[in-house]
């Protein structure tokens, strides 16, 4: 408790130090928004494990690390680093963010597709004030302590807008890289994505790192889909295994819009994702797919809330976990169907694959239903690789490691194959395979 208390005080007092400087670099309306956010964080503090949402995930290590929430900007990512992450096949069409801040000179110089505006959030504040201000000032974005912390300290992030009726064929790809000099730093990227009426797009968020030391990425992404808009959001989190990565994702959907999240969590010593999808307009469709693949001493925590508030909504949620080494996984999937959300159809499933004896998963799918005419299913499983399948592959000449790897990739493929955009799917498959290749995941019972 004292560590958490001290860390809490550290962040609040750091805000006092940099408040004036933060105000200098932003429009005037942002100052009270930041102040409200830090006040909210001061109330909430670092969560203890008595908090139900943090029951299986301790933030004591982060609290102890006394990280700097407003470090000097950008610390030395090169174009070579970018190329190493992207490979040759994907070198086009990337916006790069270094330590959470837009880095145009690291981004590829090809033009954005028609109907797409994308760049740094800080640059967009004055141009798109009417769009951005209500999102930054949203009170419900402050219900989680680290989202509030992001609100106080954020300086930049991605701003993406797809204009009405546009359907860019090429995905919008955003690469967040932590710099080699980011040791001890917190990055607070704030991303805003709006898909206007009738538009259709795919956005990828990739988190990579050049820093091999302790740092913290504390990201917050807000998404607004207007009427009949459609978005595939592909997130791949491949931070260093020394990193803390927290990400909050808030989705608001207007009538008849369709949202699909594909969230792939591979990196980080401690990775936590909170997704809050509010389906308050009629006829909304929402799919949350997720894959976490961890080993060693990694800890990954996925929290999702599917909040059905309007009628005729459909939601599907499939989160798959693969855990090796002594890793820990947490899945907390909450579906709420409010009284007005009649004719809701909600499904949720969380199957997990334990690769080693030392790995553990806590999974808790929860339903809360107040409407009477709904269809909801949920469930979770925990299992191991099928011995019969393993023997079948070996009997055809696959060595044990390859056979395990093949079966593990097969388990993951239900998530990766659901990514409709071929180039993004190929990228994700490559990153998942690479993680399996270098990890202990496939070496059997350790």
Pick from 17, 297, 373, 400: which binds another protein (CB under 8 A)?
Answer: 400
Pick from 399, 420, 434, 445: which binds another protein (CB under 8 A)?
Answer: 399
- φ, ψ of residue 310 to 5 degrees: the values are -115, 160
User: Cβ of residue 274: shortest distance to another protein, in angstroms?
Assistant: 29
CB 183 within 8 A of CB 213: yes
User: Cβ of residue 399: shortest distance to another protein, in angstroms?
Assistant: 5
**Residue 279 in contact with another protein, rule: CB under 8 A:** no
CB 41 within 8 A of CB 9: no
User: Cβ of residue 437: shortest distance to another protein, in angstroms?
Assistant: 15
Find the part of the chain contacting another protein (CB under 8 A) among 80-88, 169-177, 260-268, 399-407: 399-407
Token pair for residue 191?
A: 């991303």
Find the part of the chain contacting another protein (CB under 8 A) among 306-314, 337-345, 361-369, 381-389: 381-389
DSSP 68: B
d(CA 62, CA 217): 11
Token pair for residue 168?
A: 């860019």
Minimum CB distance to another protein smaller for 80 or for 388: 388
Q: Are strands 230-237 and 101-102 parallel, antiparallel or unpaired?
A: unpaired
Pick from 32, 368, 373, 392: which binds another protein (CB under 8 A)?
Answer: 392
**Residue 414 in contact with another protein, rule: CB under 8 A:** yes
- Contacts (Cβ under 8 Å, ≥6 apart) of 211: 178, 179, 180, 181, 182, 183, 240, 242, 243
**Residue 443 in contact with another protein, rule: CB under 8 A:** no
List the one residue out of 243, 242, 203 whose CA is nearest residue 222.
203
**Residue 395 in contact with another protein, rule: CB under 8 A:** yes
User: Cβ of residue 32: shortest distance to another protein, in angstroms?
Assistant: 51
Find the part of the chain contacting another protein (CB under 8 A) among 111-119, 158-166, 263-271, 413-421: 413-421
User: Cβ of residue 112: shortest distance to another protein, in angstroms?
Assistant: 35
**Residue 413 in contact with another protein, rule: CB under 8 A:** yes
d(CA 189, CA 192): 10
Pick from 31, 135, 371, 398: which binds another protein (CB under 8 A)?
Answer: 398
User: Cβ of residue 357: shortest distance to another protein, in angstroms?
Assistant: 17
**Residue 409 in contact with another protein, rule: CB under 8 A:** yes
d(CA 313, CA 397): 48
Pick from 402, 420, 434, 445: which binds another protein (CB under 8 A)?
Answer: 402
**Residue 388 in contact with another protein, rule: CB under 8 A:** yes
**Residue 362 in contact with another protein, rule: CB under 8 A:** no
Q: Please say whether the dihedral angle defined by the alpha carbons of residues 384, 386, 391 and 397, taken in this order, is positive or negative.
A: negative
Helix, strand, coil shares of the chain, percent, nearest 5, are 30, 35, 35
List the one residue out of 270, 269, 295 whose CA is nearest residue 359.
295
Compose the 415-434 pattern: x for residues touching another protein by CB under 8 A, - for all others. --x-----------------
Cβ neighbourhood burial of 399 (10 Å; 0-12, 13-18, 19+): exposed
User: Cβ of residue 425: shortest distance to another protein, in angstroms?
Assistant: 14
Minimum CB distance to another protein smaller for 130 or for 387: 387
Minimum CB distance to another protein smaller for 150 or for 352: 352
**Residue 391 in contact with another protein, rule: CB under 8 A:** yes
Number of helices (H) and strands (E) in the chain: give both, helices first: 10, 20
Cβ neighbourhood burial of 444 (10 Å; 0-12, 13-18, 19+): middle
Minimum CB distance to another protein smaller for 364 or for 394: 394
**Residue 410 in contact with another protein, rule: CB under 8 A:** yes
Pick from 406, 426, 433, 446: which binds another protein (CB under 8 A)?
Answer: 406
CB 240 within 8 A of CB 138: no
- The β-bridge partners of 316 are 287, 347
Minimum CB distance to another protein smaller for 29 or for 391: 391
d(CA 101, CA 121): 9
Within residues 136-195, the interface with another protein by CB under 8 A covers: none
Minimum CB distance to another protein smaller for 371 or for 398: 398
**Interface with another protein (CB under 8 A):** 386-389, 391-400, 402-403, 406-407, 409-414, 417
């Amino acid at each position: 408790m004292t560590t958490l208390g001290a860390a809490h005080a550290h962040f609040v007092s750091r805000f006092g130090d940099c408040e004036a400087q933060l105000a200098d670099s932003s429009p005037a309306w942002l100052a009270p928004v930041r102040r409200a956010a830090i006040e909210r964080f001061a109330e909430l503090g670092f969560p203890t494990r008595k908090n139900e949402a943090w029951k299986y995930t301790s933030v004591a290590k982060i609290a102890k690390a006394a990280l700097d929430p407003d470090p000097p900007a950008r610390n030395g990512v090169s174009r070579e680093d970018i190329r190493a992450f992207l490979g040759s096949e994907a070198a086009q069409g990337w916006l790069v963010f270094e330590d959470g801040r837009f880095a145009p000179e690291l981004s590829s110089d090809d033009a954005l597709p028609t109907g797409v505006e994308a760049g740094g959030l800080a640059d967009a504040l004055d141009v798109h004030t009417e769009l951005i201000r209500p999102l930054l000032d949203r009170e419900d974005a402050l219900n989680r302590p680290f989202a509030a912390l992001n609100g106080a300290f954020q300086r930049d992030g991605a701003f993406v807008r797809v204009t009405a009726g546009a359907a860019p064929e090429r995905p919008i790809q955003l690469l967040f890289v932590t710099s080699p000099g980011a040791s001890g730093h917190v990055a607070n990227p704030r991303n805003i994505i709006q898909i206007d009426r009738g538009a259709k797009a795919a956005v990828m968020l990739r988190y990579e790192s050049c820093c091999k030391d302790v740092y913290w990425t504390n990201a917050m992404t807000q998404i607004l889909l207007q009427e009949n808009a459609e978005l595939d959001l592909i997130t791949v989190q491949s931070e260093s295994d020394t990193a803390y990565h927290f990400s909050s994702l808030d989705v608001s959907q207007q009538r008849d819009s369709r949202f699909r999240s594909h969230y792939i969590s591979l990196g980080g010593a401690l990775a936590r994702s909170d997704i809050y999808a509010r389906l308050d307009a009629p006829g909304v469709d929402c799919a949350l797919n997720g894959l976490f693949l961890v080993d060693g001493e990694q800890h990954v925590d996925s929290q999702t809330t599917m909040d059905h508030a309007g009628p005729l909504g459909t939601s599907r949620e499939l989160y798959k976990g693969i855990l090796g080494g002594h890793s820990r996984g947490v899945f907390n999937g909450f579906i709420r169907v409010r009284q007005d959300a009649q004719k809701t159809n909600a499904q949720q499933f969380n199957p997990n694959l334990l690769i080693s004896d030392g790995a553990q998963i806590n999974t808790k799918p929860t339903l809360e239903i107040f409407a009477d005419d709904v269809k909801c299913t949920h469930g979770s499983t925990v299992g191991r690789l099928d011995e019969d399948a393993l023997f079948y592959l070996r009997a055809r000449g696959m060595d044990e490691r390859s056979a395990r790897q093949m079966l593990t990739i097969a388990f993951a493929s239900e998530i990766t194959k659901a990514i409709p955009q071929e180039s993004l799917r190929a990228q994700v498959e490559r990153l998942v395979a690479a993680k399996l290749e270098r990890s202990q995941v496939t070496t059997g019972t350790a």
